[in-house]
Amino acid sequence: MPSRKKTSMFASAFCTCVSSFVVICVVLATPQWVSSQVRFSRTGSTVTVSLTYGLFRGTCEQFVDAGLQVSKTTFQVSEALSSSRSSSLNVATIVVLVLALLGSLLSSAFTCTNAVSNPYQTFLGPIGVYTWNSLCGILILITMILFPVNVEGNSLSEELAQSCSSSLQTHLGSTHSYGYSYWIMLLILFLNIASLIIIYFYDHARYSKKKEQERPIENAPKDVILF
């Protein structure tokens, strides 16, 4: 059975890992990744398309000239994308986030295992927790880079806006505001860092205790050691 100190520290790390897993699920499920205002010119008028969407679905509203609302629709992102580049990058973002979810799940399993037992395999101990937490954090960072690249670089919002109406002509400009579904990924990074810090302090304390136990033998006289 693990010591009380080990159980408490790994239990704390388990809580942060589970919280990370839950937040990633929220990020995947909610469509509040970005809100965009995309302006187009149309014969005799200016149309502003207001979009709010995530990785899977979103809503679209059209406003003509002085704010007259024309329509509001719900769309599926994958169906609305016609550009292979935008679609591929959106799929890549989803895949990376799902891998981060898997890494968070494995971190939770490893911390739970160490909280209730002493695994014989080295990789099932702190090294495994370091590995999966670090991998999860790196994948979250990649996600936070890929999505803005798709929005800003591949004109994702403009493409989705054009799918809402076929009568739009010249693109005049766009503004983007990233929502809570995007920014709470920073909380996932914080939770991963917290897990790493907790396990590091446990590992460091265990290493220091081991060195202290070895020191009396190292400092003992040679004749006593030989005896």
Q: pLDDT band for position 225 (50/70/90)?
A: very low
| Helix/strand/coil (H/E/C) assignment for every residue in 25-56 | HHHHHCCCCEEEEEEEEECCEEEEEEEEECCC
pLDDT at 197: 92
> Would you call 6 helix, strand, or coil by DSSP?
helix
pLDDT at 224: 44
pLDDT at 186: 96
pLDDT at 172: 85
How do the domains of the chain map onto residue ranges? 4-206
Task: Check the CA dihedral 122-124-127-128 and report its sign.
Answer: positive
The model's pLDDT over 128-175, given as tens digits with 9 standing for 90+, comes to: 889 999 999 999 999 999 999 999 988 899 888 888 876 667 888 899
**Which CATH number describes the domain made up of 4-206?**
1.20.140.150
